[in-house]
Structure 1
């Protein structure tokens, strides 16, 4: 959520209705490049990889890592300065790869919720960052 709303203090509640959050599964072991490890520096990895908004650069990294046999990357979210929980990005072609009876795959969706229905996430965001969600006042 910080990726979307960092740098602002107030989020209008209707904006939360435009966003969903999903729990996903991958039904196979993944080989991840751990860029959160200090050992990654020997491969030229610096914090710039996960703090830049230069997406062509990060796409070059993902292409090189995939070519080297990695299925994805473990990295720090650029807006989480505490570095407590790492993120995982799985390399795959763009588009929906959810497993279906007609088109089985390794990816599944356990469930999807609208962010409007997750007040616990908004309370955590306010507690950790000071960003609040407010109703838009009615007109006079």
Structure 2
């Protein structure tokens, strides 16, 4: 049996006609982010899963949202494992968003995505090289977003979207900013209720730094 190697490098200018697609929900979506960034900010630093690959970082940006608050939490803090430092959570806010117009996403969770040699590493692998290459290819083929499972959710139940817009920066024509979950300009900390839900379902606990295990 051949060793598993994950998704292949996508061919340049590949025709992805027939790739599974799904509409981005027009209802409420959630994003957890640092307060210095506007909720409608599309970044391109290359340090996130579907950011533009090297050489294209001035061309477009990516904004990451989730269908549920839990998915936004996992996508932001899940890499920390069983314990998350409270100061990291306190340094972020949660925002509630709508898409400003209908958007069509490439659905990496669809069973028929395997016809294009897509594997689960695009959603959950530690190396972002392939996801960024595939994200660019999907965008080049007309998709406005990528639909995928929150990378640190073993159940694959929490759904996230990587939205594309060009150039990098704020794009209010893509995201209709509803509200940061507090009266602006102040930002409400991520609620204790959400932290409790995360602890109950996934066993992830937010702790003060002096209580974190060595």
The 5-angstrom pairing of residues 1-140 of structure 1 reads 1-3=73-75, 4-93=77-166, 94-97=168-171, 99=172, 105-113=173-181, 114=187, 116-135=189-208
Per the normalisation by structure 1, the TM-score is 0.80
Offset at residue 10 of structure 1 (A) = 3.2
Q: Which stretch of the first structure deviates more once superposed, 58-67 or 110-119?
A: 110-119
Asked whether the equivalents of residues 73 and 90 of structure 1 are also in contact (C-alpha less than 8 Å), the reply is yes
Per the normalisation by structure 2, the TM-score is 0.55
Gaps of 5+ in 2: 1-72, 182-186
Taking the aligned partners of 2:174 and 2:74, their CA distance within structure 1 comes to: 28
Asked whether the equivalents of residues 124 and 151 of structure 2 are also in contact (C-alpha less than 8 Å), the reply is yes
Larger Rg: 1
Offset at residue 2 of structure 1 (A) = 2.9
Offset at residue 132 of structure 1 (A) = 1.7
Offset at residue 66 of structure 1 (A) = 0.8
Larger % of helix: which?
1
Compute the RMSD of aligned alpha carbons. Answer: 2.1
Gaps of 5+ in 1: 100-104
Runs (4+) of structure 1 moved beyond 4 Å? Answer: none
Distance change in 2, residues 1:92/1:123 (3 Å): same
How many residue pairs align between the two structures? Answer: 131
Higher relative contact order (CA 8 A, sep 6+): 1
Q: Which stretch of the first structure deviates more once superposed, 114-123 or 57-66?
A: 114-123
